[in-house]
């Protein structure tokens, strides 16, 4: 089992003995100016034995809350006080990050559809292949820090495999321990790290830390606590996880569309429990007259909504997390 012996831990040339920390950049091909594409990698090898955690952020290049979580976690961890090891890649999708967008502009792909990757594939597939083989397969569990892009969304944790095997059950348990209050539990599309790693027996969660441009302090704070909860749970650091007594679990997202165009004013806040028929939002014309009351099509939780208050007929005004249960 990886991480159970006190040995050298390396990712490419970044190498550590037990009790050491190393960080640097791994070169992966070249950019269009012929300069190397460089991935930031940190390895913290604890003085004592324990599991190996793999943490990554900015798999979507405009999702920055996870990068701030990494800053806190990597600065707070000390190899002398760590049981096991942490491999961290704070910016995974470097080409998309430079472009300030979600997908890699070199191949137009979302990184989180490319795992486990391909050594001779497109730009995103090569990055995924490197990460999967050099980092993920050395790990006992993975945390892939995301957010709902730049659209406002509740802070939630996604578990993208069902509970039919050990890695699936451990992934769900890790989602619960992350403790962010809302869990979306549904099998994800092919190519997600949160599916590809559990398929190799490595439990993985995909926390979605809100949704914003830039950084959102509250989402970042919850993300830091979530990562620490998981490290505590695996007995890698001292402390007790802080887990809410009751967390919402949903298995379904229901899109809500509007029939009229205009300006959208919500009557409910993100995270509100709504009943079928409750008014979610009203749409007003340019003079302020209400032209439509948009109602919840199902019972559930107001999960996300678009970033701007202007909508056209047939546009998505919200997503509801449906089929709510609790853990």
User: Does the N-terminal peptide bond of residue 116 adopt cis geometry, omega within 30 degrees of 0?
Assistant: yes
- Do residues 59 and 67 make contact, with C-beta atoms less than 8 angstroms apart? no
- What phi and psi values does residue 46 have, to the nearest 5 degrees? -65, 155
Q: Which is nearer to Zn ion, 146 or 305 (CB)?
A: 146
Closest distance between Zn ion and the C-beta of residue 233, in Å? 24
Half-sphere exposure of 128 (CA within 13 A, CB side): 26
Query: Could you give the CA distance from residue 63 to residue 215 in angstroms, rounded to a whole number?
Result: 9
In the complex, least distance from residue 205 CB atom to Zn ion, rounded to whole angstroms? 13
User: Does position 156 bind Zn ion by CB under 5 A?
Assistant: no
Total Cβ atoms within 10 A of residue 166: 11
Residue 160 interacts with Zn ion (CB under 5 A)?
Answer: no
Smallest distance, Zn ion to C-beta of residue 247, A: 21
Closest to Zn ion by CB, 63 vs 292, is 63
Comparison of 60 and 134: residue with beta carbon closer to Zn ion? 60
Closest CB to Zn ion among residues 24, 105: 105
- Sketch the per residue contact string, 130 through 149, with Zn ion: x for CB under 5 A, - otherwise: ----------------x---
Contact 142, 201 (CB under 8 A): no
Only segment of 17-25, 53-61, 79-87, 238-246 that touches Zn ion (CB under 5 A) = 53-61
Chain centroid, CA 86 distance in Å: 17
The C-alpha atoms of residue 223 and residue 70 are separated, in whole angstroms, by: 9
Query: Closest residue (Cβ) to Zn ion?
Result: 146
Torsions phi, psi of 95, nearest 5? -60, -40
Q: Is residue 60 a contact residue for Zn ion (CB under 5 A)?
A: yes
Nearest alpha carbon to residue 250 among 167, 153, 134, 317: 153
Q: How many residues bind Zn ion (CB under 5 A)?
A: 3
Asked if the peptide bond before residue 164 counts as cis, ω within 30 degrees of 0, the response is no
Smallest gap from residue 146 Cβ to Zn ion (A): 3
String marking each residue 94-133 x if it binds Zn ion according to CB under 5 A: ----------------------------------------
The distance of closest approach from Cβ of residue 159 to Zn ion in the complex, given in angstroms and rounded to an integer, is 15
| Residue 274 beta carbon to Zn ion: minimum distance, rounded to whole angstroms | 25
> If DSSP codes are grouped into helix, strand and coil, which group holds residue 225?
helix
Binding site for Zn ion (CB under 5 A): 60, 63, 146
């Amino acid at each position: 089992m990886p991480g159970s012996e006190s040995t050298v831990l390396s990712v490419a040339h970044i190498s550590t003995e037990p009790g050491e920390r190393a960080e640097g950049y791994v070169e992966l091909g070249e950019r269009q100016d012929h300069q190397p594409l460089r991935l930031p990698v940190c390895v913290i090898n604890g003085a004592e034995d324990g599991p190996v955690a793999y943490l990554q952020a900015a798999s979507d290049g405009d999702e920055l809350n996870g990068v701030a979580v990494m800053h806190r976690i990597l600065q707070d961890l000390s190899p002398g006080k760590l049981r096991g090891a942490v491999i961290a890649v704070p910016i995974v999708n470097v080409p998309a990050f430079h472009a300030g967008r979600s997908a890699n502009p070199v191949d137009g792909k979302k990184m989180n559809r490319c795992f486990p990757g391909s050594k001779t594939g497109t730009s995103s597939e090569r990055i995924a292949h490197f990460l999967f083989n050099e980092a993920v397969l050395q790990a006992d569990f993975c945390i892939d820090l995301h957010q709902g892009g730049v659209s406002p969304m509740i802070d939630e944790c996604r578990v993208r495999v069902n509970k039919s095997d050990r890695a699936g059950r451990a992934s769900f348990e890790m989602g619960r321990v992350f403790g962010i209050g809302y869990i979306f539990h549904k099998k994800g599309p092919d190519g997600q790290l949160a599916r590809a790693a559990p398929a190799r027996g490595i439990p993985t969660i995909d926390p979605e830390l809100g949704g914003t441009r830039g950084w959102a302090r509250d989402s970042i704070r919850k993300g830091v606590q979530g990562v620490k909860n998981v490290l505590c749970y695996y007995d890698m650091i001292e402390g007790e996880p802080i887990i809410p007594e009751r967390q919402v679990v949903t298995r379904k997202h229901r899109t809500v569309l509007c029939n009229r165009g205009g300006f959208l004013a919500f009557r409910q806040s993100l995270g509100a429990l709504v009943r079928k028929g409750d008014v979610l939002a009203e749409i007003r014309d340019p003079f302020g007259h209400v032209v439509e009351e948009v109602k919840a099509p199902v019972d559930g939780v107001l999960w996300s909504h678009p970033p701007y208050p202007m909508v056209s007929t047939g546009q998505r005004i919200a997503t509801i997390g449906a089929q709510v249960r609790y853990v």
